[in-house]
Amino acid sequence: GVVDFGAKLGTVFQTWGGWAVDLARKLAGAVTETSDFLSKISDLSAKTGVGTSALQELAYAASQTGVETDALFKGVEAMSRKFGDMAAGGKSLSDFLLRVGGPAFLKQAKAAKTNEDRLELMLVALSKIEGEEKRAALASAVFGKAGEDMVLMLGDVAAGLQELRKQ
């Protein structure tokens, strides 16, 4: 009777309660993970001047090509440092850009006003360079150790970035 019903009701609450607690843990984990990711993007944007929207778009592109977002972020940081060095008179990146792309490319790279503009210019350049060796060399010169990952990510990304932005 009543005792049996109470016991069954207790079992139902235990089962549903366990499920609810498990769901709450999973949701909390997802919220924490998303918060950490957005915090990384915000920090990187503040460090490099590349907008959060652009970084989110690139992170999405990286996720679609199997590239770790940490590699992408390290590449953007390296690019920022290297262009900063070039702006301060460093010759290593400017000499390389001149050798690979010629005077017009170097002029365009120097004329870019923001790191976001520089990043877009480098992504487009990587997508247009013919020959894997040249592409890998430019990626390494601009993005450091993360250059290889950037090349993987860029298979069709530079051309498809506009399409990704629409999504």
Neighbours of 119 (CB within 10 A): 25
* DSSP structural state of residue 131: S
Residues 126 and 150 sit within 8 Å (Cβ to Cβ): yes
Q: Which pLDDT belongs to residue 77?
A: 94
pTM over 0.85: no
Do the Cβ atoms of 111 and 135 come closer than 8 Å?
A: no
Identify the segments of the chain with pLDDT beneath 70: 1-34, 155-167
CA-to-CA distance for 6 and 80, rounded, in angstroms?
Answer: 66
- How do residues 114-158 score in pLDDT, each as one tens digit? 999 999 899 888 888 888 888 899 999 999 999 988 888 776 555
